[in-house]
Structures are given as C-alpha cells and as structure tokens.
Amino acid sequence: MVRRNVFEILKHSKKVTKEDFCKFAKEKGIKSLKPDMNWDEIEKEVRMDARVDLSDIRNRWPEEFGIEVEKEKGEEKEGKGKEEQEEGKKEGEEVEKEEIKTEEEWEEVDTEEEEGVKIIKEEELEGGEEGFIEHLKNIFSSFLDELFRKKDKFQLGIYGATNVGKTTLANQISEDWLGEEVGKTSAIPHETRKIQQKENIKIKKRGKELTINLVDTPGISTKVDFEEFLDYDFDEKDAKQRAKEATKGIIEAIRYLDDMDVVLAVMDSTKDPLSQVNLTILGNLEARGIPVLIVANKLDKNKANLERIKAAFPQYETVGISAKEGSKMDELYEKIFQVTR
Amino acid sequence: MENELSIHFMPLEAFQVLGRDEKLEMLVERSKEEEITVVEGLLKPDEEMDLIKATMEEIEGEEENNKFTGVEIGSITLKRSWLKKKKSLSQKLKALLLKYLIGRERGLTVIGPASLVKEVKQNPEKLTLRVE
C-alpha cells in the first residue's frame, strides 16, 4: 500500500469525509486543514507535515483499507523503514498510471497489494524452514531492487550569479510543462530573494517521463551593496531592506545546495564565465558529487559567446539557450534527461 | 586612508595552520579593514561557500555604521593555467609530483573588500584587479 493509494481511497470513500479527516489531522496537530479544501490540497499539506504518518491514517480507518489485524502483522515484519522506501519506489509508478485508472481499478490495485502481503505470510507459515528462507530471499531481492533502482523524482536546482536569467529559465520550464510561472523577473539585481519552488513538473521526451521539483534560487554573490538599488529608484530605507533580504537569500541558496539531485548552473553568455561565483558553484557541486549541466543563457543577445563558456569549462556538459525567447529548450530537456539517467 | 593600498601576503604555511573558522574570520576581518589579502594557496570549494556565507552575515550585521558591502575574490590555480600550456612531459611530471608532495592544488587567492576592489578578472594566466 502506498501513500498515494491511501489518499485515493479516502477520496473515494463514502465513509470517511473531509470533515472526519480534518478532525483527525487536528488531533495530530495539523490545524491548517479545512473541509472546504479538496483532497489534493489536503494530501499536499499532510505530505509536507511529519506529524501524520501513513500508518496513522490506515489505523484510524482500518476497514476502509481492508487491512485489519493481518495487514498490520505483515507491516511489522517488513518494517516501517522498508515501507517508506517502497512507498517512494512505487509512487512514481502509481502517478504514471493514475491518469488512466478508474476508481474500481484503484481498488483492484489495493487488493492485489494486500494479497501480496498475505502470500508471503502463508508461505512462511506453511513452508516451515523453506518458507522462511524464501521470505528472506524476498527481503534480499527487495533490498537489491531498492539499491539499484532509478530515482523517479529529482530536485532540480537552478543556481548561478545574479541577473543571469535563473528565474526566466525557471518560468520557461514551468510554463512549458505546467503552464504557470515560478516567479517575477526584472533587471534589478537580487529580484529573487527567496527560494521558489514548483513541485511535480513532468517533463516528457521521446516517450519517457521525468518528474522534477524545480527549485529556483536567489543569485549567488560575494557582495551586496544597498546603494546599488538606489539607482533603481528605491529610497534608502527600501534599498537597505532589499539588501538585507538579498543577503539572507544568498545564505538560503547555499544551504539548499545539499538537497539538490541535479543542478543547472546558469551563466550569462555575454559575460566572462571565469567569475569566482561560477567557479565556487561548480567546485562545490563537484565536491558534493551533484550532477551539473551548464546553461549558457541569453544567446539571443549580440554579445553572446557560447564557445567562451565551453572553453572555460570543457569538463562540463554545456547547453546554450535563450530562456527569454524559449529557444533551444528542447535541447536543454534532452540534456536534463541525460544528466539524470 | 586615501591613496594607500594595503596588500597583506599570507604564505601557505601560515594559512594552512589556521582552522577553518579562523581562516574565514581572518579574511573577512581584513576585508572589513579595507585590506587586500593575497594567500599562497587555495580555499577548498566548501570554504569558498562558507566565506560567502560569512560575508553575507557580516553585511547583514547590526553594527553601527556598518559599511561593509562584501568582498571580491579571485584565484589562480596551477591546474587551470600552467598545466594547460604546452609544457614538456618532464615538466608536467615534476609539477604533478610537487602537487602530490604538497598534498593539495597550488595556486593563489586574492580577497579584497568590494568597496575597494571593483572587479576581478580571472584569465587562467593572470589575475587582474580593478581597484578604485
């Protein structure tokens, strides 16, 4: 049973209402849920909160999941950690199938999973020692599957110096696949001063699908001078506030780096790429073993020089684009697939 | 002080004996005092990131009359410059042996206050600082 199923079942349950679930969540300490929210919104809130565990939900309404006592025993054997790993593994598969499944099909999947748990139990009980060995083999096999399985969702971070077009790129990606923007862009440095995210973006290419959480980060810089903002018609108080937010944003971006699975290091192709910020970002990604793709942006500009970036960082995969015009984005998606493979 | 520029040189031995926090504190403090520091050696990538973080925290600091606006950093490494040139095999081997003996990549790092150092250009062969 996976978390997705739990919510699918709740969504279609005639017994458990949203009022019931909100009351239950409130008891667990989540007070933000309201009955007028839809199930997707409720699910999102719960998934972001560690106070309600999957098993809590199932134990609260066991008959809805048809698990009762026998299922719980099975869970104890498999272990909670394994269940969570399985959940991550299956989630992507479930999401893929979700669009074409009917309510009845969901129920069938749930029943099959329940039977799967029972089969192991029965073999184990009836087969004596052999059954037990078989059970151990299953556990070992699951462990190997988990070890070598491919990740099905990636944290894709967009990093780079200020004003290289990170948010423009994030908007382009998000608009291409979700039809909505990530954040506001402007010519004023440090426009993005907080991490901005779009979750569950599904990129499709040549029949394959990749799910990403897109993380747009504030531009990294070694300096922030409030006087710089005075040139953009800010008064001193607002300029100082903006500078303060910018410094916090840079620290936040650095802290997020460890959470990334893949990073797009965005560079302005009209400028010298051998800046300390670029070197520091690439050096840190390399040291952390995070795959990186250099995105040479602003190719629509006359002064753009893609070759200069390629020559500066020959060891990295580089793709030239114009995020503003949305050109060469297909090439970028192709490279993202390659980097995450 | 007007028309005066302080450049502090830090040999590798003196820099390497410092702890991580000491290194960062020293570099930021010197920049706050309007001094340029030339370090014989390179910061590790995570030290560079920590230096940026420490710099941001100092800019944000609540000190009265805090005029610190950050730093400019530049570095030049043997790997990026010297080895790329067409040197003879024996020269390359000597360089690699030296690198092995020293235990880390050789290079130079320059750090200065952003109020003074307006730009650092990092040609693989040389560092150019525009100072105002």
Per CB-CB distance under 8 Å, the chain B contacts of A290 are none
Q: Which of residues 162-221 of A touch B (CB under 8 A)?
A: 220-221
CA distance A281 to chain B (A): 8
> Among B49, B70, B121, whose Cβ lies nearest the Cβ of A280?
B49
Q: Containing H/E element for B49?
A: helix B45-60
Per CB-CB distance under 8 Å, the chain B contacts of A230 are none
Per CB-CB distance under 8 Å, the chain A contacts of B52 are 220-222, 250, 254, 280
> Among B60, B74, B123, whose Cβ lies nearest the Cβ of A248?
B60
Can you give the pLDDT at residue A314? 92
Per CB-CB distance under 8 Å, the chain B contacts of A159 are none
How do the pLDDT tens digits run along chain A, 341 residues long?
A: 333 467 778 887 888 888 888 888 888 878 888 888 888 788 877 776 666 777 778 778 877 776 644 444 444 444 444 444 444 444 444 443 334 444 444 444 443 444 334 344 444 444 566 666 766 766 766 666 555 555 678 999 999 999 999 999 999 999 999 998 898 888 888 888 889 999 999 999 888 889 999 999 999 999 998 888 888 888 888 888 889 999 999 999 999 999 999 999 999 999 999 999 999 999 999 999 999 999 999 999 999 999 999 999 999 999 999 999 999 999 999 999 988 87
A95/B93: higher pLDDT: B93
> Among B45, B55, B122, whose Cβ lies nearest the Cβ of A222?
B55
Residue in B with minimal Cα distance to A271: B121
User: What gap in Å lies between CA A165 and CA A185, rounded to an integer?
Assistant: 8
Per CB-CB distance under 8 Å, the chain A contacts of B75 are 276, 279
CA distances (Å), A305 to each of A201, A308, A321, B81, in order? Answer: 30, 6, 11, 21
> Among A251, A284, A286, whose Cβ lies nearest the Cβ of B56?
A251
Can you give the pLDDT at residue B81? 54
Across the interface, do A274 and B44 touch by the CB < 8 Å criterion? no
Query: What are the strands, taking DSSP E only, across chain A?
Result: 153-160, 196-205, 208-216, 262-268, 292-297, 318-320
Residue in A with minimal Cα distance to B73: A276
Mean pLDDT of B1-18: 84
Can you give the pLDDT at residue A146? 53
Are A28 and A45 a contacting pair, CB within 8 Å? Answer: no
Can you give the pLDDT at residue B23? 93
Across the interface, do A276 and B73 touch by the CB < 8 Å criterion? yes
Q: How much is the pTM?
A: 0.66
Can you give the pLDDT at residue A150? 59
Digit-coded pLDDT (tens) for B23-48: 999 999 999 999 999 999 889 899 99
Q: Is B28 on the interface with A (CB under 8 A)?
A: no
Q: Containing H/E element for B45?
A: helix B45-60
A131/B80: higher pLDDT: A131
Q: Containing H/E element for B92?
A: helix B89-102
Residue in B with minimal Cα distance to A249: B56
Query: How would you label A238-277 residue by residue, b for 16+ Cβ within 10 Å and e otherwise?
Result: ebeebbebbbbbbbebbebbeebbbbbbbbbbbbbbbbbb
Can you give the pLDDT at residue A80? 43
